[in-house]
Amino acid sequence: MKVQLMSMTSHEFRTPLTAISSAMDLLEARLHLDGQLSAFHRLQLRKIADEIFQLNNMLDEVMTLSKMAGNNWEADRKPVAPNKS
CB 72 within 8 A of CB 7: no
Higher pLDDT, 43 or 5: 43
Write down the pLDDT at residue 73.
Answer: 63
What's the pLDDT tens digit per position in 38-73?
999 999 999 999 999 999 999 988 888 877 777 766
d(CA 24, CA 34): 15
Write down the pLDDT at residue 7.
Answer: 77
Q: Is the pLDDT of residue 83 over 80?
A: no
% of the chain residues with pLDDT over 70: 94
Write down the pLDDT at residue 78.
Answer: 84
